[in-house]
Amino acid sequence: MLTDLRPVATPQARRALATHRLFAAVLALAAALRAVTMLGYRPAQLYWYDSFSYLDTAVHLRPSAAFHPIGYPLLLRALWPLHSVEVIAAVQHAMGLGIGLMIYALLRRRSLPAWGATLATVPVLFDASFLRLEHAVLSDTQFIFLVVAGLTTLMWSPELSARAATGAGLLFATAALTRTIALPLLVVVLVLLAVQRVGWRPLAALALAGTLPLAAYAGWYDHHYGRFALSGADGVALWARTMTFADCAAVKPPPEEARLCPNGTVVDAASEYVWAPGSSLNRLPGDRFSHNDLARSFALRAIAAQPFDYLREVVKDTSIAFAWTPIAHPKRTTPAFGFGQGNWPLPDFPLIDKVREQYDPDIRGLSSVEPYAGFLVAYQYPAYLRGPLLGVILAVGGLGAALRRRVALLPWGVAVALLVGPVAVLDFDHRYVLPVIPVACLAAALAVTAILRPSPLPARPRRP
C-alpha cells in the first residue's frame, strides 16, 4: 500500500495563507514584472561614470576619493565571484521585493488589514521607475532597502529595546556608507526618537552603533587621502548648490574663496556647476575635488550671508517632485518613462575595458529584447506615481504625525528628510525622490489607521 507523499498543510499554515493570500498574489505579480525586466533589457543598465566606478572600487576595495563611499562596492565585491552584472540586477530586483515585504509585514504587525497593508506596497512594487532603478548598477536600491530595514527594526515592537536600536544603527550606518545623504538622516532619526521619549538606552545604542562604523571608514579614508571624512565631494556639492543664488557683494568672501564666486556661467541646474567647464571651480588649477575644503568654506559663508535666498532655491527645486508631468532637471536627463527600444552602446573609455576584464567579461551596452521591452514601454506610462499623488501621501502622513506623534512621526520625518536633504546639499534629481516613496507610504498607512481608529479610553481606577 503506497503512502500519500503529498505535503499536508498544518492549520496554522492554512490560516497564514488565507490571511496573506492577497499580498502573496501581489508579490507574485511584482516578481513577474521584474523577470520581464531582466528578459527585456540585457545585460543590465550601466551608467558612465558611476557604474564603472562602483565596479572598479569593488575589485580594488579602496575608498573613493570623490563621491562614492564603500557601501555599495562591498555588495558588488560579494557578488564578484559570479562575474555577472546580470546577477547584480537580479539581487537588486530581489531587494525591491524585500522592501515591499518589509512594509507589509510591519503594517500587519501594527494591526492594519491585509488590503490596507498591501495597498501601501503597491508604489514600490509596481512603479516602473523602481523596475528601472533595480535594473541599474547604481547604489540607490541598496540604499532604499537599508533605510526601510532600519525603520522596520526601530518600529517592529511597541517599546524600542537597546538591541533593536543597535541593529537599526548599524543599518543606518551602512546606508550612510552607501549614500552619504543618510548621514544627516541618522541625526534626524535620533531627534525624532528623542521627541517620542523612547529612553536614553536605545538612543545611546543607536548613536553608538550608527557612528562607530562611520568613524572606522573615515579613519580608513584618512589613511588613503589624509582627511578624516566619508567623501571628498561634500564641499563641492554644497558650493554648486549656492551657485544659483550667491552674490559675492553680499557674501564678501576672502580673496582665496573669491575665486569661487559666480563668473557668469549659466546652467539649467545647480548640480551642473560641478561639471560645467566654464564654472569658477573648474577654472581653478588641478582637479575640482582638490578644492573641496575651499568650496565648503565658500558655500557655508554664502548660506550664512543669504539664508533666505538659499531656502528659496531649496523650496523651488523640491517643488519639482510634485509636478504632474515629470520635469527634466537638468534638461539632459530622462526624469521618467525611460524604458525604450533599441541598443545603447557603451562609450570608449579605458576604465570600461579594465572593469570588463576584471569583473565581468560580458559587460556591453544595453539592448532591448522583444516582446518584453515593448510591454514595459507601454506599461511605464500608467505605472508611474504622479507628483500630486506623492504630495497627498506626504500630507496624510504629516497629518498623522501631528495627531498621533508616536505612530507616524518617525517614518514621515524620514520621508521629508529624504526629499529635502539631497536638494539642500546639492540639487533635485528624480532618482533621489524614489527613496521617499516607500517611507511616505508607510507613514500614510499608519496615519490613516491612527486617525480613523480612536485611541482607547484610559482604564478606570479601581476602588480600594
Helix axes 200-225, 162-176, angle to 10 degrees: 30
Among 58, 95, 96, 53, CA closest to 76? 58
Query: For 18-22, 190-194, 361-365, 368-372, which range has the lowest pLDDT when averaged over its residues?
Result: 18-22
Q: How confident is the model at residue 44 (pLDDT cuts 50, 70, 90)?
A: very high
User: For the stretch 237-260, what's the b/e string if a residue is b when 16 or more beta carbons lie within 10 angstroms of its beta carbon?
Assistant: bbbbbbbbbbebeebebeeebeeb
Per-residue pLDDT, averaged over 395-407, amounts to 86
- The answer to whether the beta carbons of residues 85 and 363 sit under 8 Å apart is yes
Mean pLDDT of the chain: 92
Q: How confident is the model at residue 373 (pLDDT cuts 50, 70, 90)?
A: very high
Per-residue pLDDT for 19 more than 90? no
pLDDT digits (tens, 9 = 90+) for 145-156: 999 999 999 999
Q: What are phi and psi of 343, to 5 degrees?
A: -125, 140
C-alpha cell at 286: 588641478
The CA distances from residue 100 to 110, 259, 274, 432, 449, in Å, are 15, 48, 35, 18, 19
Query: For 6-20, 299-313, 416-430, which range has the lowest pLDDT when averaged over its residues?
Result: 6-20
Domain ranges of the chain: 19-226+331-407, 233-330+408-447
Q: Going by C-beta distance under 8 Å and a sequence separation of 6 or more, which residues neighbour residue 38?
A: 86, 89, 90, 93, 135
Rounded CA gap, 233 and 276, in Å? 16
- The answer to whether the beta carbons of residues 185 and 173 sit under 8 Å apart is no
pLDDT at 89: 98
DSSP secondary structure code for residue 108 in this structure? H
pLDDT digits (tens, 9 = 90+) for 272-323: 999 999 999 999 998 899 999 999 999 999 999 999 999 999 999 999 999 9
Q: How confident is the model at residue 451 (pLDDT cuts 50, 70, 90)?
A: confident
* Beta bridge mates, 42: 367
Helix (H) / strand (E) containing 171: helix 162-176
